[in-house]
Structure 1
Amino acid sequence: MTQPGHSHPLSLSLGLLLLLAAALHQSLATSLQTTAAPHKDLGRPERGNYTVTNSNGTVCLMARMGLQLNVSFNSSSQGKTVLDVVNLQPNLTKSSGSCDTDTASLVLTTDGEKTNLTFSFSLNVTSSKYHLSGVTLSALWPDMSVPFNAQNSSLDYLRGTLGRSYMCREEQTLDVAKELSINTFQLQVQPFGITGDQFGAAEECQLDEDDMLIPIIVGAALAGLVLIVLVAYLIGRKRSHAGYQTI
């Protein structure tokens, strides 16, 4: 018979499993908080393809993404500030912009020029690193009591390397101003160093890397748990046999 005072391997494994589940739950909850956005459920916006060409007709900026605008404005019908959420429709959106040595811009115009969204990128020539440095939105929607304008020229999003594209498949939120944030979906953008009309090698965002890392961590944890249970079982058997006395 088994000597009293020794924990059964099954109890040990269940305790470890509960600890593992709690840790994974906390990790997933944290990950979800980084992508959550305060918007009504419109579904994922359609992914659009946008390009900018320079004076000789060659492509100098490329972007492929779904965009969702979260805009707070004064409502003429309700007489108060409201939050509206709008999915940008690629088939109704025109793209333009400009490209220089260390700056580039993508201008998206829709609703018959009633909505103008500009993304401004900056390149550090010394480090060969670029980032989204500014966003401007001007809009005049039916329920707006006055034209909407919001901008921020000190942003630091979508960081990439010259000659490479920045990619983020997961939904992410770009906080631009108190009254404006932008949700991006399946984003890939390259504002500098384009060769031909193809994206350069992609540098993935932290959200994508975390999403790929979670299954690896879970698999490794479960493998470790199986090993611990096996060792505990063998130790338990050894102690059980040692507990028998010859009469």
Structure 2
Amino acid sequence: MKLLSAVILLNVLTLYNINADDGIDPENTNVTTVAPITSSSAKPSTTVSTTAKPTTAPSTTTSTTASPTPSPTPPPTTPSTTTPSSTTPSTTTSSPSTTSAAPVTTTVAPTPGPQQGTWDVANSTNSSCIVLKMAAEVVVDFNTTDNKIANSTIFVPLNATASGVCGNNQSMTLSFSFVNASQSNTIQFLFSETDKKFELDVINVSLILDSTNFPGAKDKQLNLIHKKVDFVTPVEMSYKCDKQQKLDLYPLNGNTSVGALKISKFQFQAYGDIINKHFADAKDCEPYETPDIVPIAVGCALMVLIIIVLVGYLIGRRRNQARGYLSMFTENKKEADYIPMKNLSCFQLFVGL
């Protein structure tokens, strides 16, 4: 009997495990229990009929919802209470900047003048009969193609070449060119000697009117002359003048000046036997003019001094005369002499003094 109960219990447990594995709800499973056979001594047979409830495999939908990541809760912050410091507003008073623009003074640089050069004419003894040192410029008027008169200035360059003649009638010619070397400008000096003195008689100037120095010139060449005795100097001496000398130039057939040869820092010697271009003792030109105020001041001072001396002399003389008359009256002590003496003009003058 116990054996039978154990078998039944074992079957029940087995069915339950099968249903659980197959997804069958054990609560809906019908179990039929066969009643025990009591009238047989043989081993009873047990038939187990199991009616399985039709089951439908449940549709399992797996929905995965990501749980929200909790944001970290910031620690409670203690509100900082900042008491603003009482600031005194800085009041900056900016004075208006007054910038006075200094007047711009433009200093015009002086135009450079000609440079001083030295030229000579050698004689047969390897010395020089003429030596000339000067800074020279030529200023001339010329006619233009539009029938106007223009003015131009050229400087005698240091590279001008000198040629000339020694003898009784000595001369020196300076030649120089600016544009075309085959066409030269020339300045000729003619000297003469009389009574142990030499002098400059004539200056001939010939200019090529090139387009550079004479723009728009109507003529191609200009010939001018200076004919006047200048710089008379004793023989065996030289002539020297630092201040500028202006020598007027005239057309060959005219008497109206159209230009000038200006020479400065000037020294020359002719009719000499000059070694190494060393000048003899120089005769200097007239000194610079003395300002008029100097002689006027000296004259006024002398006049005042003369007047003071004259007045002092007259006053002293009159006093001496008055003392003489007074001494005469004192010695005589006569009333008759005293009365006429009062009427004397010199005595009255003395009393008045």
With the shorter chain as reference, the TM-score category is 0.5 to 0.7
Question: What is the CA–CA distance in structure 1 between the aligned matches of 2:298 and 2:115, rounded to whole Å?
Answer: 40
Q: How does 1:1-247 map to 2 (within 5 A)?
A: 42=111, 44-76=113-145, 78-90=146-158, 93-112=159-178, 113=181, 114-124=183-193, 126-140=194-208, 141-142=210-211, 143=215, 144-152=217-225, 154-177=227-250, 178-196=257-275, 197-205=277-285, 208-209=286-287, 211=288, 214=290, 222-235=297-310
Question: What is the CA–CA distance in structure 2 between the aligned matches of 1:74 and 1:223, rounded to whole Å?
Answer: 52
Please report how far the alpha carbon of residue 95 of structure 1 lies from its aligned counterpart in structure 2 after TM superposition: 2.3
Give the equivalent residue in structure 2 for 1:37: none
Question: What is the CA–CA distance in structure 2 between the aligned matches of 1:161 and 1:194, rounded to whole Å?
Answer: 14
Tell me the C-alpha RMSD between the 2 structures.
3.2
Please report how far the alpha carbon of residue 127 of structure 1 lies from its aligned counterpart in structure 2 after TM superposition: 0.9
Q: Cα deviations across residues 5-41 of structure 1 (Å, max 9, x unaligned)?
A: xxxxxxxxxxxxxxxxxxxxxxxxxxxxxxxxxxxx8
Equivalences, count: 198
Unpaired stretches in structure 2, ≥5 consecutive residues: 1-109, 251-256, 319-348
Structure 2 counterpart of 1:200, one-letter code: A
Question: What is the CA–CA distance in structure 2 between the aligned matches of 1:166 and 1:195, rounded to whole Å?
Answer: 14
TM-score by length of 1: 0.66
Q: Cα deviations across residues 189-213 of structure 1 (Å, max 9, x unaligned)?
A: 11221331211111222xx24x26x
Structure 2 counterpart of 1:167, one-letter code: K
TM-score by length of 2: 0.48
- 2:138·2:262 contact (CA, 8 Å) conserved in 1? yes
Question: What is the CA–CA distance in structure 1 between the aligned matches of 2:221 and 2:228, rounded to whole Å?
Answer: 20
Secondary structure in 2 aligned to 1:226? helix
Give the equivalent residue in structure 1 for 2:10: none
Please report how far the alpha carbon of residue 152 of structure 1 lies from its aligned counterpart in structure 2 after TM superposition: 3.0
Question: What is the CA–CA distance in structure 1 between the aligned matches of 2:310 and 2:201, rounded to whole Å?
Answer: 60
Secondary structure in 2 aligned to 1:89? coil
- 1:52·1:95 contact (CA, 8 Å) conserved in 2? no
CA 1:235 to 1:133, structure 2 compared with 1: closer, same or farther past 3 Å? closer
CA 1:105 to 1:147, structure 2 compared with 1: closer, same or farther past 3 Å? farther
Q: Which has the higher helix share?
A: 1
Tell me whether 107-116 or 156-165 shows the greater mean CA deviation.
107-116
- 2:130·2:274 contact (CA, 8 Å) conserved in 1? no
Secondary structure in 1 aligned to 2:283? strand
Secondary structure in 1 aligned to 2:219? coil
- 1:166·1:203 contact (CA, 8 Å) conserved in 2? yes
Q: Which has the higher strand share?
A: 1
- 2:226·2:247 contact (CA, 8 Å) conserved in 1? no
Secondary structure in 2 aligned to 1:193? coil
**Which structure has the larger Rg?**
2
Structure 1 counterpart of 2:141, one-letter code: S
Question: What is the CA–CA distance in structure 1 between the aligned matches of 2:229 and 2:264, rounded to whole Å?
Answer: 18
Question: What is the CA–CA distance in structure 1 between the aligned matches of 2:113 and 2:307, rounded to whole Å?
Answer: 48
Question: What is the CA–CA distance in structure 2 between the aligned matches of 1:244 and 1:228, rounded to whole Å?
Answer: 29
Question: What is the CA–CA distance in structure 2 between the aligned matches of 1:198 and 1:123, rounded to whole Å?
Answer: 21
